[in-house]
Amino acid sequence: MEEVEIRKLEGVIEAILFTMGESVELSKIASAIEHDEDTTRKIIRQMMVRYDEEDRGVRIIELESSFQMCTKKEMYEYLIKIAKQPRKFVLTDVLLETLSIVAYKQPVTKLEIEKIRGVKSDHAVNKLVEYNLVCEVGRLDAPGRPLLFGTTEEFLRRFSIQSVEELPSLNPEQMEDFKTEAEEEVQLKLDV
């Protein structure tokens, strides 16, 4: 087998093991690269030796008749440093829109949010809960007892306010402009 073909097969094997994230049976890898198991095992073992020689951050391990790509244990301390860093939250326009609805209308159900936004809001609400900006504050006393959502202390901290009463109020003229824009958007969607 030519060196170029071996490198290509190694790339395919590497992609398979990296993407799967867990052990993959030798037979499945062999089938994917369209070679017999003995040839596939030799290629993987060559990769294992080269990874070791090149002192890479990952390695391939053999588990019975399967192989798995994993991090070398010497790298764990570096991974822990990254894992301990606070995650940076990105508030997209959709998340900001949903958050503002919750902030001004709380306690509010997902259905009420969806009526205002005009689209499903499950993902946005779930992201805001994950970011600890919104939380469940109870259940509505109605059929199905839907969850009610409100803002959290973290929301107040992030927006540097002491209570939701400090949120800026919209003047009636702005409200009319927003209503007009929303109605025009709905009409455009209906016309299409």
Residue that is last in its domain, among 11, 46, 74 = 74
Q: What pLDDT is stored for residue 178 in this prediction? A: 66
Residue that is last in its domain, among 27, 47, 74 = 74
Residues 109 and 63 placed together within one structural domain of the fold: no
Residue 57's nearest CA partner among 74, 80, 35, 77 is 74
Q: Residue 30: how many CB atoms within 10 A of its CB?
A: 19
Domain count, the chain: 2
Q: What pLDDT is stored for residue 173 in this prediction? A: 73
Q: How do residues 6-19 score in pLDDT, each as one tens digit?
A: 999 999 999 999 99
Single-letter amino acid, residue 80: I
Q: What pLDDT is stored for residue 107 in this prediction? A: 93
Query: Where is pLDDT greater, at 169 or 63?
Result: 63
> Domain residues for 169?
93-191
Query: Where is pLDDT greater, at 38 or 86?
Result: 38
User: CATH number for the domain including 173?
Assistant: 1.10.10.10
The reported pTM is 0.49
69 three-class SS: strand
Residues 59 and 120 placed together within one structural domain of the fold: no
Q: How do residues 96-125 score in pLDDT, each as one tens digit?
A: 999 999 999 999 999 999 998 889 999 999
Residues 27 and 102 placed together within one structural domain of the fold: no
User: Is the pLDDT confidence value at 174 over 80?
Assistant: no
Contacts (Cβ under 8 Å, ≥6 apart) of 179: none
Is residue 157 one of the residues assigned to a domain? yes
Q: What pLDDT is stored for residue 13 in this prediction? A: 95
Cis amide prior to 146 (ω within 30 degrees): no
Mean pLDDT across the chain, nearest whole number? 88
Q: What pLDDT is stored for residue 153 in this prediction? A: 92
Residue that is last in its domain, among 19, 44, 74 = 74
Query: Where is pLDDT greater, at 133 or 88?
Result: 133
Single-letter amino acid, residue 152: T
In sign, the C-alpha dihedral spanning 34, 37, 42, 48 is: positive
Cis amide prior to 86 (ω within 30 degrees): no
Residues 114 and 172 placed together within one structural domain of the fold: yes
- Mean pLDDT to the nearest integer, 122-150: 93
Residue 90's nearest CA partner among 80, 81, 102, 99 is 99
